[in-house]
Amino acid sequence: MEETVLAFFFFWVPGFITVMGALMFLFTKSSGTSRAGQILVGVGLLAILLAPWTIPFSPSSSFGHFIGSIVGPTALIAVGIYNLSFSGNVPIGRLSASERRSGIIMIMLGVIWFEGMHWWILTPTYPNEVNGYWFIFWSTTLLVSTGLATGAIMLTRQVGVNRIQEQRLLTVVLVMLVSLVLLGFAFDGPNVDAKQFAHEFWLAGADVFGMLVGFSLAILMFAFVIAFYESQLPEPSRLPAPTKDELTVAAEIIAAHTDGGSLDE
């Protein structure tokens, strides 16, 4: 009972605080409330990251260990994408060329860091085995990234204008992602077995497919409810046709506002 209470206060309460802080930060116009939301997010994330030390006996601590393991490369990639995005052809707040180069370096370092978790000794291990959340995260990330790259290539080809360079870059990214997946299927890493990776990859595919199906069904049900509701509404009352006097007044008003003189002016 005591262990359950400790897990509640040191993991689930910080998780709730983090979510509430994020909502306060994103959906408020008050600067004070937004700042309070940022503080709550920081405190909640810190408590979750400390879970391996505060509640090592709880299975929830493995999630805190996983978050702590990926926060470094995730931050590098996020900041790199920001620098790369806002150093391009943007009308306002364009970053310098040096920040663009630093963004590229950050993204490369973040990707290498993640790859080191698969193919080197950096694999998140807690306490004596590979963290299960890592398998879920890595396989899902590769699958979703491959799908997004494929969709982006198709989109730029259909609606893009003069986007040859972007298409080539996306093609290179797609080839790299597919190569990583195939290498993971074929070869074992120091801590990651190829069969286990393939198993988690197909499970991730099933999860993503289920989410897409569920999302599509939710949209269809929402559209059905709206259509059914509108079909039950009575027909709106029709206004009578305008009288001759009303048409005359309307014609005078239109003429007064459209008569601008001759074309020579």
Domain boundaries, the chain: 1-58, 59-129, 130-227
Query: What is the structure's pLDDT at 90?
Result: 63
H/E stretch holding 62 reads helix 61-85
Per the DSSP assignment, residues forming a β-bridge with 130 are: 125
Report how far residue 143's alpha carbon sits from residue 123's, in angstroms, rounded to the nearest whole number.
19
Give, to the nearest 10 degrees, the angle between helix 97-119 and helix 132-159: 140
- Average model confidence (pLDDT) for the chain? 86
pLDDT score recorded for residue 12:
87
Burial class (CB in 10 A: 0-12, 13-18, 19+), 88: exposed
- pLDDT tens digits along 132-184: 888 889 999 999 999 998 988 888 888 766 777 778 888 888 999 999 899 98
Cβ(106)–Cβ(77) below 8 Å: yes
What is the pLDDT at residue 113?
A: 92
* In the predicted structure, residue 217 carries a pLDDT above the cut 90: yes
Q: What is the mean pLDDT of residues 197-212?
A: 91
- Residue 259, pLDDT > 70, answer no
- Going by C-beta distance under 8 Å and a sequence separation of 6 or more, which residues neighbour residue 199? none
117 token code pair: 């978790």
Structure tokens at 145: 């990234």
Q: Which pair of tokens denotes residue 223?
A: 């559209």
Task: Tell me the C-alpha to C-alpha distance, in Å, between residue 165 and each of 3, 98, 159, 171.
Answer: 56, 21, 15, 10
What pTM was estimated for this model as a whole? 0.74
Ranked by mean pLDDT, the top range of 22-31, 200-209, 234-243 is: 200-209
Confidence of residue 93 (pLDDT cuts 50, 70, 90): low
What would the DSSP string read from start to end of 1-28? -HHHHHHIIIIIHHHHHHHHHHHHHHS-
Structure tokens given for 234:
């009575």
Residue 216 pLDDT: 94
Dihedral sign, Cα of residue 35, residue 38, residue 42, residue 43:
positive
221 exposure class (CB count in 10 Å sphere: 0-12, 13-18, 19+): exposed
Number of Cβ within a 10 Å radius of residue 137: 21
Using pLDDT thresholds of 50, 70 and 90, give the confidence band for residue 265.
Answer: very low
263 has pLDDT over 70: no
